[in-house]
Structure 1
Amino acid sequence: MVGYAPLNTAIAEIRLFVLFPGKDSEPIQGSLRNASLDGRPEFEALSYVWGERDSPRSITLDGEGFHVTPNLYAALCALRRPASSRTLWIDAICIDQHNVDEKNHQVPLMARIYKQASRVTAWLGPSTPRIELAISWLNSSPGPYLDPVAARYWLDLEKRAATSRQGELDRHFDIVKSFAGAIDISDLQYWHRMWTFQEFALPSEEPVCLCGALKFSASALSDTRISSEEAIDRLTISINFLYSVLGPEFTGLPTVPGFNNQALSGGRSGAELMEFRFLPQNFSMVNSTSRKSIINMDETALFLLLSATRGRGCGDSRDRFYALYAMAPEIQEYYPPDYAKPFERVCLETTAFLINIDAESLMFDSFGLRYDRLSSGAYPTWVPDFFQPVMPGMPTQRHYNLFVHHYGKAIPERLCDLEGRPDARVDDSLTTLTIYARNFGPVRTMKFANSSESVIAQVHAILRPGLPIPPWSWAASGEQLKAHALGLSWIAGVPLTDMDHFHDRLLRLIMAIDKTVDSSYPFHTVRAFFDNCLDVADSGDWLGTSFKERLGEQDSDMELVSSITGCASLLVGKTLLATQDWIMGIGMSDIEDGDILVLAPPLPLLLALREVPADADSEGDGTVGYKIAGTAYAYGLMDSYALDLELVEELAGREFQRFTIY
């Protein structure tokens, strides 16, 4: 077992790993030495992902056996020189991973480590033939990693394409395969882990990307070779040529031995390759503009860093936050990294920092509410789910959150006048959040069904009061559903005799959720479509016929059919709600009758709050407390092109009220 020498925290001491020279077949050996960052030692830093830990590999460290992950072992083999040593900083080797106090001390030094390193190497993992082709294509052009062999290969390919049919096929195949390899690079685990985000962003010079034995610039790949118009044209020409020869299925030609879809693009269809410009967000940060903006980011902008790393993974949940500490040093002053704390505490402290210090107020338009917020006592309901990916789960999920970027809506400025309003604040005990919001009153609700087909049938039942409702599982009684809809219309200020008004508001609300429907089709067209759907519902047994086939019999505009069914899918599991102030909205599934609807700008969503019983979470001073039941979108308040100006003006006159949230 390796005996780690103690580190002197007073002089920012770290350990450095000296990788001994050796040939490919020889064991990996090295030694550790302590060095103070204050003395500016010469070293390189390695950025990598740990990878699988089930089958560790053994190296020799100061004469003792030491286990590393297979991915780190492969990196060491690629980094080792045949005749000279190499001094490196590698977290898994240089930090005693079993010493919590040492980890707590080393994490705050990460910024200095990656900024002071003479070079940072980003180990992406072993190469593949497609990746090698992509890198050779990248390095065939002038740049820091120009490869004469690669340049000659692509030049020879161009010459052969000009003189023979086979050469032309080879050229187009290699162009498409190189794009497939570029997408493979963007899909590598390196770009999907938490720690690698700051490790790639912190160095003053862009890290050297190493894939197998090949070096390249990730920003050059992102900036020019993938996203430029020239590259797009190049790929388009090649795919069109291969389509003309191979057919639309891209299945290959018997007359061209060795070529098939798997060899061509690694299982990627031509259509998928044409979407290469829409690279994963985690890889988009490597382009030169994004990386510079991250480097120059306000040091306290932890919220922006958390937003930029949504969807990235980490082995230790606490690293969702600690892996960003080097780029947001202010939070360390309030809540230093401490691996002795449970994740729940770290998450709670981070939320309090974001609200009290980072001045982000409420974050539920960027990070959704936790699905167990009302049932779990581990957190207050105001602590968001920081682990939700950039594109949340399918809308059929019961707890699917409402995100403002799905709808492209915003609260009108008239309702966002914050003059004289205190900021939101978490108390010192980290148990309650105090917000100041405009109260829109209690809501009446109706639940949408759990499938798109059933949702559309529900809408029909409301639009056509005389319709007999099919025996769907979502409604035991059609009359009960219609009565509930009538109740919604009454509480929304619409007389029972004026259901057409209510119908129009409901349809426009549904249209507003799907911008493509709203912008592409006039209201009367959508209303007519629903009527056609209604005729389909009346004409026979829906359960025995494909939904889209049924719709197709009645309406030839299948694009509209697709848009409406897609729109309906966004309503699956949601709640239709209304207040006495003519506010109608769509909210999360947990919102119930009696919850109150409030607006707490600058949050561009409405909150539904549920009063906490007096004997639960009460401060004992008569203060009424609430829990967050869900978020909601309201038609007429959140659409710049369809504002209810009279309603907005009336609501803007309401005073902000104080709410205590548990």
Structure 2
Amino acid sequence: MATFEYTRLPSSTHNLRFVCVLPDEAHAIVRCDMYTWISDNLPERTYRALSYTWGDDASKVPIILNGKEFLVTANLEDALRHLRSASFREEDQELPLWIDAVCINQEDSDERDSQVRRMRSIYEQADHVIIWLGKYNEPTDGRFKIDLRRWGIGEVEDNSEVMARAAFVLALLLKEKANPAKPTSEISVRLEDYIHANNMQAWAQLSRLFNRPWFERLWIIQELAVSRQAIVLWGNLRIAWPTLEKAAKFILRPGNAVLSLHIQKLFPLLGAHRITQVALQSMLNVDTKNILTVLHNTQNTKCSDSRDRLFAILGVVDDTEDVDIDYSIPVTKVYTRWAQKRIKRLNTLDILSACADSSRGGDLPSWVPDLRRPFGQDRILWNHSQTSVKRYWDFLPSRFSMGRKHPLECTHLSFSQDGLGLSIDGEFLGKIEALSQVADVVTDLRDPADLTTRLRNIVDLWSVNSIPMLSNNFRDALLRDFMPFKPSNFELERAYDAWCEYNGTPKGIQSNVPPNVNQSRQETAMRDFERALFPRVHNCQMFKIARKDDYSPKVGGIVGGNCGAEIGDELWRLRGGLTPFILRRLSTAPNAEHRLISPCYLTGHMYPQSSSAEVLVTLV
């Protein structure tokens, strides 16, 4: 049989291809017809858009497209096979499909660039978006492991339509639990019915659903955010996307809901965070006017082309001036051009907050975020740098900066001739002389609902063995007190003192908790504090910098554990940066170049300010 060949689109900016899946027997080869429309004149209820995981691109299967053979991934073939079944209403089945792997000629880079720029409008104009999660049993399910001892079940059954339906019913139940003021008649069982062994399978299957590869995809964020209506298809079963999203939100934040202990201990095991990390409206601290905040929230998603780290989110952000969609240039040049254009346009170094040892791969300057890896710094520092610092300077009385350049604006900014070096004014703050181990709160934790012992051991180790002689600065560094004039987290400090007293004060830490506190209320307060302490500790490490002179206090800070900080690294405040930074001097020469290691928290130095001690620093 002849192989399908694309006919060039009359206009890649005004035309779209669509496919119609032709009806046939269940096991017959999938047959589709393709045709082209002028997208400027699309009528109502014109087409559906498919959101799916491409799957293994090296292993493809044939379908028939316009009477000719066309190769697609096995996952897409499964989706098309199920879409021609009776799982959709007849009027829905009549709507054609837009599918990126079929409707875009992936071998034509010009067409691909043009169509990617239109992705937002394509999904926005679709009657509805179909989310294909796969068949009831998929090869990828093999990586989904359940600790049967924690779940309280003998074994996990393979997926079937019955088990998938039970998981969907459980999702509906959790959605109702999240909205008790608006009960519906969709279900007639209680959440408590799902703690028994014969119903534990539903929890396992819901968790298996959350762990499907679709929830790792980067492109789905845009596909979901702009869709009019999103429908989840799992095998032959369907459920509205908002139901799954609301169920996941409830699992992550049950609030004051009265739940049995058995159910509470299940919640951390389900993987519900995988839903909220791809739903834009469920992400934390997202500002669509700041592309960095969206990049931070999407850092754990996956894409086959690293250039899509930038390109795939352009449809959901307003901050797009510095990104040019061009698949003809290498990823390192895409990232470097974007960083350089952003720094020049804004005249600030806010982009450096997304850098964590970016040059470790050897193909990027250290001041360019390597979006192929997670950012690397702790979440508390990130949230602070993107919100608190900017807000502080917006409200700061003008007399504090009268006659001086704004501390968030760069001075003496320049790039090297090859565009790989960045020079900027900076102030040297000291060198790291002590560095703790990286904290791991979760590995081999017997009970995920009980963090107390692990957190206490980490705090004890940091305060006594790793970072001695920090005095009161230890608590400030641990809790991240960001305000320059008075503590902004006074209640958190009180909670920390109470936690130390309640669990046995860690060595070297003085606490001052009021006596005769009601025990049950205090236990609840302790658990609330541990939830706040967890992101301040997990995957972070504490450091101490050497004194500048004999009269200076010992100063400590916190840095992300995967950035590779070392004893001897230098602490700098860079003009235009939102936080202090750890730099590594590349030679002993007075004007040596530096490599940016990571943004960090440094007690007493968290707000930019002008200084007469600034010198020119070059980052490479």
TM-score range, shorter chain: 0.5 to 0.7
- The amino acid that maps onto 1:122 is I
Alpha-carbon offset, residue 530 of structure 1: 2.8
- Alignment partners' CA distance in 1, 2:285 and 2:309: 21
Instruction: Flag structure 1 segments of 5+ consecutive residues without an equivalent.
Output: 144-150, 162-167, 244-269, 393-399, 464-484, 486-501, 533-557, 616-621, 639-647
Deviations 1:578-630 (A, max 9, x none): 34254612365535547352254661x31133455599xxxxxx987533244
Normalized per residue, the structure richer in helix is 1
Pair 1:214-2:214 in alignment: no
Report what 2:141 is aligned to: none
Aligned equivalent of 1:586, options 528, 533, 557: 557
TM-score normalised to structure 1 length: 0.63
Report what 1:189 is aligned to: 213
- Alignment partners' CA distance in 1, 2:219 and 2:7: 25
Report what 2:523 is aligned to: none
Report what 1:342 is aligned to: 330
Change (3 A) 1:327 1:460: closer
Report what 2:165 is aligned to: 132
Alpha-carbon offset, residue 273 of structure 1: 2.1
Deviations 1:442-471 (A, max 9, x none): 4362344689999978975799xxxxxxxx
Alpha-carbon offset, residue 302 of structure 1: 2.3
- The amino acid that maps onto 1:198 is Q
Aligned equivalent of 1:369, options 352, 356, 362: 356
- Alignment partners' CA distance in 2, 1:462 and 1:117: 57
Q: State the secondary structure of the residue aligned to 2:350.
A: coil
Report what 2:19 is aligned to: 17
Alpha-carbon offset, residue 230 of structure 1: 12
- Alignment partners' CA distance in 2, 1:426 and 1:278: 45
Report what 1:661 is aligned to: 619
Alpha-carbon offset, residue 176 of structure 1: 5.1
- Alignment partners' CA distance in 2, 1:138 and 1:567: 28
Report what 2:39 is aligned to: 37
Pair 1:628-2:615 in alignment: no
Q: State the secondary structure of the residue aligned to 1:3.
A: coil
Report what 1:504 is aligned to: 471
Aligned residues: 515
Pair 1:53-2:57 in alignment: yes
The answer to whether the 8 A contact 2:478-2:536 is kept is: no
Report what 1:280 is aligned to: 273
- Alignment partners' CA distance in 1, 2:80 and 2:112: 23
Change (3 A) 1:601 1:93: same
The answer to whether the 8 A contact 2:163-2:202 is kept is: yes
Alpha-carbon offset, residue 14 of structure 1: 2.2
- Alignment partners' CA distance in 2, 1:67 and 1:462: 58
Aligned equivalent of 1:324, options 313, 318, 327: 313
- Alignment partners' CA distance in 2, 1:230 and 1:626: 43
1:405-424 matches, within 5 Å, as 405=381, 413=392, 420-421=405-406, 423-424=409-410
Pair 1:445-2:403 in alignment: no
Q: State the secondary structure of the residue aligned to 1:504.
A: coil
- Alignment partners' CA distance in 2, 1:454 and 1:182: 33
Deviations 1:537-556 (A, max 9, x none): xxxxxxxxxxxxxxxxxxxx
- Alignment partners' CA distance in 2, 1:175 and 1:197: 32
Report what 1:542 is aligned to: none
Aligned equivalent of 2:339, options 351, 355, 360: 351
Alpha-carbon offset, residue 369 of structure 1: 0.7
Report what 2:507 is aligned to: 530
Change (3 A) 1:594 1:377: closer
Change (3 A) 1:212 1:4: same
Deviations 1:232-275 (A, max 9, x none): 89983xx56xx7xxxxxxxxxxxxxxxxxxxxxxxxxx554234
Change (3 A) 1:97 1:215: same
Alpha-carbon offset, residue 341 of structure 1: 1.4
- Alignment partners' CA distance in 2, 1:50 and 1:317: 15
- The amino acid that maps onto 1:200 is L
Deviations 1:536-576 (A, max 9, x none): xxxxxxxxxxxxxxxxxxxxxx99xx99x999987987642
- The amino acid that maps onto 1:352 is Q
Alpha-carbon offset, residue 198 of structure 1: 0.7
Change (3 A) 1:217 1:286: farther
Q: State the secondary structure of the residue aligned to 2:70.
A: strand
Alpha-carbon offset, residue 170 of structure 1: 8.1
The answer to whether the 8 A contact 1:600-1:606 is kept is: no
Alpha-carbon offset, residue 523 of structure 1: 11
Alpha-carbon offset, residue 35 of structure 1: 2.1
Change (3 A) 1:195 1:518: same
The answer to whether the 8 A contact 2:4-2:69 is kept is: yes
The answer to whether the 8 A contact 1:450-1:572 is kept is: yes
Report what 1:380 is aligned to: 365
- Alignment partners' CA distance in 2, 1:567 and 1:222: 23
Instruction: Flag structure 2 segments of 5+ consecutive residues without an equivalent.
Output: 137-158, 177-183, 441-456, 482-488, 510-525
- Alignment partners' CA distance in 2, 1:39 and 1:637: 58
The answer to whether the 8 A contact 1:368-1:385 is kept is: yes
Report what 1:113 is aligned to: 122
Alpha-carbon offset, residue 387 of structure 1: 4.0
Alpha-carbon offset, residue 61 of structure 1: 1.0
- The amino acid that maps onto 2:496 is S
The answer to whether the 8 A contact 2:21-2:96 is kept is: yes
- Alignment partners' CA distance in 2, 1:329 and 1:383: 21
- Alignment partners' CA distance in 2, 1:152 and 1:413: 49
The answer to whether the 8 A contact 1:133-1:174 is kept is: no
Change (3 A) 1:454 1:346: same
Alpha-carbon offset, residue 108 of structure 1: 0.8
Q: State the secondary structure of the residue aligned to 2:50.
A: strand
Q: State the secondary structure of the residue aligned to 2:582.
A: strand
Alpha-carbon offset, residue 290 of structure 1: 3.8
Report what 1:94 is aligned to: 103
Q: State the secondary structure of the residue aligned to 1:340.
A: coil
Change (3 A) 1:212 1:356: farther
- Alignment partners' CA distance in 2, 1:596 and 1:635: 12
Report what 2:154 is aligned to: none
TM-score normalised to structure 2 length: 0.67
Report what 2:152 is aligned to: none
Deviations 1:162-205 (A, max 9, x none): xxxxxx978956765545444443332222111111111122x1
- The amino acid that maps onto 2:565 is D
Change (3 A) 1:3 1:134: same
Change (3 A) 1:660 1:64: same
